[in-house]
Structure 1
Amino acid sequence: MTATDPALTALAQGWCALSLLHGRIEAHIERALQTKHDLSVREYSLLDVLSRQHDGEGGHLQMKQVADAVVLSQSATTRLVTRLEDRGLLARYLCPTDRRGIYTDVTEAGLHLLEEARPTNDAALREALDKAAESPELAPLVQVVESLSTPA
């Protein structure tokens, strides 16, 4: 294949469209969460991921798992956890079975904020997808995203 190969060009165009869709959705949600709840998209995502932990086998995530879930590096995730901990939204504690391990849980204040912010996040996502669906190059991607949430 050459640099002007139509298959590569189509692939690059598809990637650009996907990147554009992601950027528009994230920016729209970011504005809504910041305005109404003083939360960034990353902060919301981190609270959401950590709120799904449980006390059962494998119920608590290690920092690498959390970083993967919120699509950040481990160091960026640690800084984000620290910021939210400083705001009283997260708390860290030692793993009871391995003193080297540190777990992070969402505090009651964090759960309350997450509960308040979830409708804002969901509405902003819906608005961003609806707006993107008006664009011919993004509409097929919106359909794919929407099909992922539909039970089979």
Structure 2
Amino acid sequence: MSFTGPLEDQIAIRALIDSYTDAVFRRDANAWGATWADDAQWGLMGTQVRGREAIVALWLQAMSGFPFVAFFAQVGSIAIDGDRATGRVYTHEFLELADGSISHPIGLYNDIYARTADGWRFAERHFSILRETHKP
């Protein structure tokens, strides 16, 4: 089974993923940053960043190259073990690049979630592209 653990925790983790997705659409760095634990780690296609501030700085840098971003997420699994959980999230993005060309990456996040005093947060996210297409 791809989903294990208390339903209330599964719902809370899904809400975390949905909050992340919504913040990307809105380009809201504060809301996006709030989804991460203070000491989180983000693996973004070979780049490893640790700590919420550094993660948000990398995200802002990456987002600055895209006049428009649409980001969709589909949860593939959530496995909860106490105050830690793992998950798999598939992504589909529509990215408008500065030159007007379009990129459509399909990606995968392998996640570790941590229950914090503020609720479930991303402790680790490791992203890879499964397939990408470009249009001029």
Asked if TM exceeds 0.5, the reply is no
Q: Which structure has greater strand proportion? A: 2
Larger radius of gyration: 1
TM range (shorter): under 0.3
Q: Which structure has greater helix proportion? A: 1
